[in-house]
Amino acid sequence: MKKVSLVVLIGLLLPAGLLAQAPAAGAGKVAVIDFQKAVVENSDGKKAQDKFTAELAKRQKEFEDKQKTMTETQTKLQNGDKTLNDTTKADLAKQIERLNAELQRINDDAQKYLGDLQQQLFRPIVEKTQDVLKSYSTENGFAVVFDTSSQASNIIYNSEVADITTEIIRKVDATPTKPAAAPAAGAPAAPRPPAPTVPKP
């Protein structure tokens, strides 16, 4: 059975392309950032990832335990095809049907819960990283900052000198985290990350 893979934060990240506008005097100056790395490798991002991974492992174990029970029940039914009476076979078939439904419920619940948890844990870090990136870009006169972690990125080559990821991580760690503000009434929700993939039974 496939293992659940850690969710990638693509849904929360800025699109590739223009990430920060600089003053006119800095026009033409360009940098690149692995924005996903900047989000998950600062101190807050590492803590958030540890929390998320722990919950992911818990949900994975619940799914695997239930799947193991179903597999054992299926094996019992198959092996007893000629020795079990019809009533026992019918009971086992009902158990398999119930377990299959429970697996689907666990899968659906995990999709929703882990998606919501990821949003809750990482959204403040993404916003903080964006603010730091904008300030840093303005201070250093970058006209454009490209995100190399985006699947839409078409950057073929960039010099290490142009990569500001490490500096942004350092500055995010040095910047106090603002208390979470309640969303304004009628304000649009932040982009949702893609739902985690829990293996189907």
pLDDT tens-place string over residues 19-78: 544 444 445 688 999 999 999 999 999 999 999 999 999 999 999 999 999 999 999 999
82-105: b (≥16 Cβ within 10 Å) or e = eeeeeeeeeebeebbeebbebbee
Distance CA 167, CA 124 (A): 19
Q: Is the pTM of this model over 0.75?
A: no
pLDDT for position 59: 92
Lowest mean pLDDT among 13-17, 74-78, 126-130, 169-173: 13-17
11-48: b (≥16 Cβ within 10 Å) or e = bbbbebeebbebeeebeeeebbbbbbbbbbbbebbeeb
- According to DSSP, the β-strands at 144-147 and 30-33 are parallel
